[in-house]
Amino acid sequence: MDTPTTYFHWGFILISVSNLLVIGGMVVLFAIALVAPFPHPKGADDGDNK
């Protein structure tokens, strides 16, 4: 914990690898949420918009 962290440096972008991994994981999770099938109870009908 007392050693300097590793940084990702690309042009003007400078970010710690740990922060980069968190952001990357969030992007992946968001993409999965868009495409992963959501379980629907059998015979469910549409509720109103409230």
Partner 1 sequence: MATTSSLEGPTPPAQSKSWTLRLRQAIDRHLPMDHLLPDRQPYYVGSWVYVFGVVTIAALVWVVVSGIVLAFFGPQWWHDSRVGRFFNSLHFWSVQLFFIFMVLHLWGQYFMAGWRSGRAATWMIGVVIFAVSILTAFTGYLSQQNFDAQFIAINAKDAMNAAGIGVFFNVLNFGQMYGLHIMLLPIGVTILVVLHIVMVRTRGVVKPIDPEGGVRP
Residues forming contacts to partner 1 in the complex (CB under 8 A) are 22, 26, 29-30, 32-34, 36, 38, 40, 44-50
Cβ nearer to partner 1, comparing 11 with 46? 46
Cβ nearer to partner 1, comparing 6 with 27? 27
Q: What is the DSSP string of the chain?
A: --SPPPEEEETTEEEEHHHHHHHHHHHHHHHHHHHSPPP--TT-------
Cβ nearer to partner 1, comparing 5 with 49? 49
